[in-house]
Structure 1
Amino acid sequence: MSKVKRNLFIAVPLLSLLVSGCGGAGNAEKEPAATGTGTDAEQAVTIKLSNWYAKKMDNWDIVIAEFEKQHPNIKVEFASAEDNNSNEYYKKLDLAVAGGDDLDILMFSNMTFLSQRAGLGMIQPLDDYLAKDGINFKDEYTADTSIDGKIYGLPGKSSQGLVIINEDHLKEAGLELPKDWTWDQYMEYSKAMTKKNGDKTRYGTYFHSWIQYGYVVQNFGQPVNANLTTDDGKTANIDNPFMRKSLELRLRGESEGSATPYSEVVSQKLNYRPQYFNQDTSMLVTGTFLIPETGGTDTIPASFKTVFAPLPKMKAEDPMSSNVSGDVLSIYSKSKHKDEAYTFIRWFSTEGIVLQGKNIPSWKKADLNDVVDRIIAGSKTPEMIDKASLLYVLENTKSTTAATAVPYHAELEKVLLEEFDKMMLSGQSIDDTIQHAQTKIQKIIDSKS
């Protein structure tokens, strides 16, 4: 996960240069789509994999070595700052495109970032490749990477919402590990696990500064209208029960003193990883991407056992589900090696990501038990990851995919963040927060039509 700033999403820089450099959104589709995956065995080519990950720490060295073993006529150049900062990566990517650099495979941390660039003609649709290989996308992957009916990338990891809990704190509070719970019960658990020791407070939960956690109920668990616009992109989606519930939960955490105060999160620039692993908080709403780290890393060893609970629900009768997101691998529309790039992203999104042993794959045909075993075995302290509760959550949570946010989603989140800050820091009411954000966001939507 990248070290994202409070605004969460960056505005895409140099859009005019990108449009002129890529020739507009439709030009890539007008070119004959390359198909097939073979190359001349006597003419090995090198493809560039642009991303933000650390090669060795995230096992990309193992992945690339195995791919090149299976495909000796394709070499993979790992192009990354290795800082796990996807926001900086996007800035560099846009500059590279504007400068006419040779690019092949582009990775995106979610569909919003991909959608912004697909609209500029940067991304090659994959429909012809998939059709040639006889692949039905929905039969293969849990995530949906389509935009306006075309597939613009293959999903790698599948990140779904869940809750990680410090087992020691759970037992200390006399609580049972929840297997099905609501957001209200989540806050009750948070209050029960909050503990004061002199001037220091160990909070029951921590909500990060990302505005996603401002509308946590809506963003994490609602498959329909999960974004700040309705799914058709025409109407502001702030005035709804899920947004209201999200804001109520955040204020409840403040008033009951069971969540790390938002003022501290912002002013001290706190990060969710040290807050949890240093035991300053007892549980986090997070994604499956964090599973490997619960077994410890070189930076932060695991000193306690983590157990897992499903994402809370709005109402008790609601189904146990979570929106899924995750990395998407795409082909640059001006790549000189599209066939070879496709060969890699198809292999990685299936066999490769399982071999990597770091994440839950979006590939439906993966053996979940094997995947979990690989992730646990690859951690520093495997015994600190509770496999039974993790498998329960993964096997019993229905994966849903929210509609891709509008390309100017960053503008909308900035508006919501401003109103959210007024509520959390200056006492603005929930009603005013919702009304102001609804009105301002609708104005932006109308200006784009």
Structure 2
Amino acid sequence: MTQISDYREVTGKMRNRKWMSLGLAGLVAVPLALAGCSTKGDNNPAQGTASPAVSAAPSAAANKEPVKLTMWGGVPPESGPQAVVDNWNKENPDIQVEYVRFVNDDAGNLKLDTALISSQPVDMYMSYDYSLYEKRIKAGNALDLSKFTDYNVDDKMGTGASLWKVDNKYYGVPTQKGMSFVWLNKDMLDAKGLPVPTDWGLDEFRDYANKLKGDKVWGAAQSDYYFNVPINGSMLKQSLTFSKPDGTSAFDNPLTVKALQVYSDMMFKDKSMMPHTEQITSKPALDQMFVKGETAMLFSTNQIFRTTNNVKDYPRTFKVAAAPAPKVNKDQTDYINAGGLGDVLSINPRTKNPEAAWKFIKWYADKGMLPMAAGGRVPSSKDFPVDEAVALMFKGVENTYDIASVKRVMFGSLPLGLSRLDKKTGTEQQVIYDKVFSQKLTPEEGAKELAKVHNANLQAAKK
């Protein structure tokens, strides 16, 4: 869900995570092209000869200052981006890139948007949320990439890339697969004789949680964002904006009711999942709960790699396996995994070096983002060296994962979709999820309320 990254995760409002502080913005130097000079030799028409030109200065190439670019992104520099630009800078002395971190929350995105319209240096930048990406395009802050004809985004990234087109044009390149999935403690599965799921629904997810729960061990854990993943995935087939053919909201449907009911039962009947109100109060670090063996399953995204790979600070003795996000019903054939492609890298139209920025983006998408794999970011380009990415992703911790299951989920062919639910609706709907999971609303009432706020915003958008 980067793309769908999930509005709370994407906007940094997850109660269970707090990202690192902002990096410092770099300076862009305008390249100086020093033209070579030469003196003219005497020309003697009578003899029909001319003396060769003599250079009066070193060549232009020898004195040309390198192009300097800044790339803004939301990932901490030590989690891959700094290594990316360091690799590029070594290979390309004529084009030097500096990475600038912005925190991917409301304040951080506002800082980026302000920089884009000011004199601050921003040549390239990442968008993690479709609504913000579209807003930047409409504000004239993203370059139309159709001027470049040497890179076929659709061919490189697959059908999911087209969801990032605006007016049938690309204003950024989606560079990674973003999806939600379930981490599992494989040792606990083995002890119960349970296989790693490859295709399941919420009923099976509930059954696993019930069988895996134990003394001081929750069967499953997930932050508030992920409650809407099965719901949204069930509606993506209808519309990227989750509306019916008649233009009204699709949230009021039996699958929404069932999803809300299953999660409520897991909290209050089975007691296999921490009650939402308790989670709000105690604000547990769910990723740390997982590596400590305090929950058998964890609904998350690729960001979990920062914790599961860090066996020094978070030692564990069990193997980690992965399963796809559960559908609402296992037999759904039109289910689309919410998330799609993400990490869209765009060029600021105000850059003085668009060609240099484009050269960097092509390199980044096809091979340059390799250091990002260690943090769990899955490249979307078909030409990316997958085996190298997997090797780096598990370097030094290979024996602590069920790698086959992780590769199946993260590098497989699950149908991916991109949610275009507007941010306002997502924020307002979260209040409703909170009420359902604190038993202030029934699942049936909750589904109607989700549709109600969505319909109000759909109508407002038409005005």
Q: TM-score, normalised on structure 2?
A: 0.79
Out of 343, 350, 361, the residue aligned to residue 327 of structure 1 is: 343
Percent identical across equivalent pairs?
A: 21
Match of 2:115 in 1: 96
Asked if 2 retains the 8 angstrom alpha-carbon contact of 1:311 and 1:321, the reply is: no
**Letter in structure 2 aligned against 1:218:** I
> Is 2:300 the partner of 1:269?
no
Asked if 1 retains the 8 angstrom alpha-carbon contact of 2:241 and 2:420, the reply is: no
**Letter in structure 2 aligned against 1:249:** V
**Superposition map of 1:286-365 within 5 A:** 286-291=300-305, 293-296=307-310, 299-319=313-333, 322-323=337-338, 324-358=340-374, 359-365=377-383
SS, match of residue 438 in structure 2: helix
Q: Residues 119 and 300 of structure 1: is their aligned pair in 2 closer, same or farther, counting only changes over 3 Å?
A: farther
Match of 2:91 in 1: 70
User: 2:318, 2:85 → 1: CA distance?
Assistant: 33
User: 1:73, 1:414 → 2: CA distance?
Assistant: 45
Asked if 1 retains the 8 angstrom alpha-carbon contact of 2:73 and 2:125, the reply is: yes
Out of 400, 407, 415, the residue aligned to residue 384 of structure 1 is: 400
Q: Residues 272 and 337 of structure 1: is their aligned pair in 2 closer, same or farther, counting only changes over 3 Å?
A: farther
Which string of whole-angstrom CA distances, capped at 9 and with x for unpartnered residues, describes residues 16-67 of structure 1?
Answer: xxxxxxxxxxxxxxxxxxxxxxx978231110111232223x2333321221
> Is 2:95 the partner of 1:79?
no
Asked if 1 retains the 8 angstrom alpha-carbon contact of 2:244 and 2:250, the reply is: no
> Is 2:413 the partner of 1:413?
no
User: 2:244, 2:91 → 1: CA distance?
Assistant: 42
Which string of whole-angstrom CA distances, capped at 9 and with x for unpartnered residues, describes residues 349-390 of structure 1?
Answer: 11112354322101122243332122111xx53311221222
1:263 Cα deviation after fit? 0.7
**Letter in structure 1 aligned against 2:275:** P
Q: Which consecutive unaligned segments of at least 5 residues does structure 1 have?
A: 12-38
Match of 1:206 in 2: 221
Moved more, 140-149 or 85-94: 85-94
User: 2:181, 2:266 → 1: CA distance?
Assistant: 19
User: 2:245, 2:343 → 1: CA distance?
Assistant: 24
Match of 2:82 in 1: 61
**Letter in structure 2 aligned against 1:111:** Y
Moved more, 213-222 or 334-343: 213-222
Match of 2:446 in 1: 433
**Letter in structure 1 aligned against 2:398:** P
Which string of whole-angstrom CA distances, capped at 9 and with x for unpartnered residues, describes residues 249-306 of structure 1?
Answer: 2212112111111112212223332222222211122224434643325543344210
User: 2:190, 2:259 → 1: CA distance?
Assistant: 27
Moved more, 109-118 or 336-345: 109-118
SS, match of residue 284 in structure 1: strand
Q: Which has the larger radius of gyration?
A: 2
**Superposition map of 1:160-175 within 5 A:** 160-175=179-194
User: 1:322, 1:421 → 2: CA distance?
Assistant: 23
Q: Residues 413 and 152 of structure 1: is their aligned pair in 2 closer, same or farther, counting only changes over 3 Å?
A: same
Match of 1:258 in 2: 272
Match of 2:455 in 1: 442
1:311 Cα deviation after fit? 2.7
Out of 383, 386, 401, the residue aligned to residue 368 of structure 1 is: 386
Q: Residues 54 and 444 of structure 1: is their aligned pair in 2 closer, same or farther, counting only changes over 3 Å?
A: closer
Match of 2:143 in 1: 124
> Is 2:82 the partner of 1:52?
no
Match of 2:231 in 1: 218
Moved more, 263-272 or 201-210: 263-272
User: 1:10, 1:389 → 2: CA distance?
Assistant: 28
User: 2:113, 2:307 → 1: CA distance?
Assistant: 31
1:192 Cα deviation after fit? 0.7
1:330 Cα deviation after fit? 0.8
1:341 Cα deviation after fit? 1.4
**Letter in structure 2 aligned against 1:79:** V
Q: Which consecutive unaligned segments of at least 5 residues does structure 2 have?
A: 14-59
Asked if 1 retains the 8 angstrom alpha-carbon contact of 2:206 and 2:266, the reply is: yes
1:225 Cα deviation after fit? 4.0
**Letter in structure 1 aligned against 2:369:** I
Q: TM-score, normalised on structure 1?
A: 0.81
